[in-house]
Structure 1
Amino acid sequence: MWVLTPINPLKNHQPITSLEHRLVMLELATARNPKFEISNLEINRPGPQYTLETLQLLKDQEPESNLILLLGGDSLRDLPNWREPLEILRICHQVGVMRRPGDRVDLSHLESQLPGISEKIAFIDAPLLEIAAREIRQRIKDGAPYQYYLRPSVFDYIRREKLYL
């Protein structure tokens, strides 16, 4: 399940593409996989959306489910700054971490901030791109090639809508 958040409380000072554009791009990016579902849980909720509250709502809807929170290495490093990160870890069955090649995570440092996190983390081997989303946005702004990092439908949408220029 993909949960699109209107505004990340930790990044609310950064310019952000409209929710409508991000939703269309997510739909285009996930369209080929019937197992992917896009949730409007955070889209329809007022105020800042926090992962903890979203996980609590999901757990209330499906009490027997084993929630797995998927993060990138950069988000994992920021997890201690999230709202009630220890409660997030308690609710989640596991934290799946997708790392880009060369991405380093200091587990001992994280463990000192969030005791027990090491037992929850599972590093995921998946076909990953060696580029972050912010780097793709910068390439678009700079006029550098970026089409190879995106599904063709998403690339076409970004060009048509003139996003990230």
Structure 2
Amino acid sequence: MRLGVLGGTFDPIHYAHLFIGEEARVRLGLHQILFVPNHIPPHKCEPNLTPGEHRFAMVEAAIAGNASFKASRVELDRPGPSYTVDTLRILHQEYPAAELYFISGLDAVVEMADWKEPLEVARLAVIVAVTRPGYASEASLEGLPRELRSRIEVLPSPLIEISSTMLRERVREGLPIRYLTPDPVVEYIDRHGLYRAG
């Protein structure tokens, strides 16, 4: 089985996340995509990160209609920072027969040499670097060691100008987020009063 692993804060999840998961699944012939909400992202300072239970519930709500998508608690149930290498080790134990594909933005992958145990990450999974028009190009991978570059697959993706930050700001300002994220996520945010000012 070829298993895609798509991590993120998902605060909240939106259509760009879902599109990247589907694009990777189809283009790379993956059987399933695991959406993995971060517990504590090591590369981001997120002092106001929404509690993991809310973020996980929104992911579950967003992917409910797609049998090829699954939400994973692998990082939420583990204390401390969410390092990719630790997540992949656990997933290797949970899915011993699976070939793992770790899906990330090219902007993060070009910094891979600075990740915790990058060679082990590359041993545990194929790294899928998602490119977007107008952002870092595939040529920026040339600075990585050959043993890392040989495990990277580049996945071109159209530019979808939706971000979680934008959705949070729109909710705070009382603006609609419908059609930027699935309706069950909109309803969850409304029901729980997430992202509102004050």
TM-score, length-scaled by structure 2 = 0.69
Q: Give unpaired runs (5+ residues) of structure 2.
A: 1-33
Offset of residue 5 of structure 1:
2.0
CA distance in 1, matches of 2:158, 2:38: 24
Larger fraction in strand: 2
CA distance in 2, matches of 1:127, 1:99: 8
Identity rate, percent: 33
SS at match of 1:41: coil
CA distance in 2, matches of 1:163, 1:61: 32
Report if aligned partners of 1:52, 1:87 keep a CA contact under 8 Å in 2. yes
Offset of residue 80 of structure 1:
3.9
Q: Which has the higher contact order (CA 8 A, sep 6+)?
A: 2
What do you get for the CA RMSD once the two structures are aligned? Answer: 2.5
- TM alignment of 1:4-15, pairs within 5 A: 4-15=37-48
- TM alignment of 1:28-67, pairs within 5 A: 28-67=61-100
Report if aligned partners of 2:110, 2:140 keep a CA contact under 8 Å in 1. no
Deviations along 1:124-159, one digit per CA (max 9) or x if unpaired, are: 356773222222222323334322211011111112
Offset of residue 30 of structure 1:
0.7
Q: What is the number of residues matched between the two proteins?
A: 163
CA distance in 2, matches of 1:141, 1:114: 43
CA distance in 2, matches of 1:154, 1:15: 19
Which amino acid in the other structure matches residue 77 of structure 2? N
CA distance in 2, matches of 1:142, 1:15: 17
Residues 109/7 of structure 1: CA separation in 2 closer, same or farther (3 Å cut): same
SS at match of 2:150: helix
Offset of residue 44 of structure 1:
1.9
TM-score, length-scaled by structure 1 = 0.81
Q: Give unpaired runs (5+ residues) of structure 1.
A: none
Number of the residue aligned with 1:133: 164
Number of the residue aligned with 1:111: 142
Report if aligned partners of 1:70, 1:95 keep a CA contact under 8 Å in 2. yes
Deviations along 1:69-89, one digit per CA (max 9) or x if unpaired, are: 011344334434421223212
Residues 57/18 of structure 1: CA separation in 2 closer, same or farther (3 Å cut): same
Residues 130/12 of structure 1: CA separation in 2 closer, same or farther (3 Å cut): closer
Kindly indicate whether residue 110 of structure 2 is the aligned counterpart of residue 72 of structure 1: no
Match of residue 123, structure 2, among 90, 100, 103: 90
